[in-house]
Structure 1
Amino acid sequence: MATSISGSPPHIPLRPMWCCRACGGPWPCATARLVLKAEHEHDLIGLAIYLCGQLHEATRDLYRLNPDEAPGPQAMFARFVGWTPFRRPIVSPPPG
Structure 2
Amino acid sequence: MCRACAAPWPCAFARLTLRQEYAHDRIGLHVYLCAVLHEATADLYRLHPHDGPDPRSLFDRFLGWVRGPGPGPGGGDHPGPA
| Higher strand proportion (structure 1 or 2) | 1
How far the C-alpha of 1:47 sits from its partner, in A, is: 0.2
AA of the residue aligned to 1:54 = V
- Structure 1 runs of 4+ off > 6 angstroms? none
State percent identity of aligned pairs: 59
- Relative distance call for 1:22 and 1:70 in structure 2 (3 A) is farther
2:10 aligned with 1:28: yes
Q: TM-score, normalised by structure 2?
A: 0.77
Contact kept? 1:40, 1:47, Cα under 8 Å = yes
SS of 1:25's equivalent?
Answer: coil
State the partner residue of 1:64.
46
Q: TM-score, normalised by structure 1?
A: 0.66
Give the paired residue count: 69
State the partner residue of 1:82.
64
Q: Which runs of 5+ in 1 are unaligned?
A: 1-18, 87-96
Q: Which runs of 5+ in 2 are unaligned?
A: 69-82
| Higher helix proportion (structure 1 or 2) | 2
Match of 1:54 among 36, 60, 78: 36
RMSD: 1.6
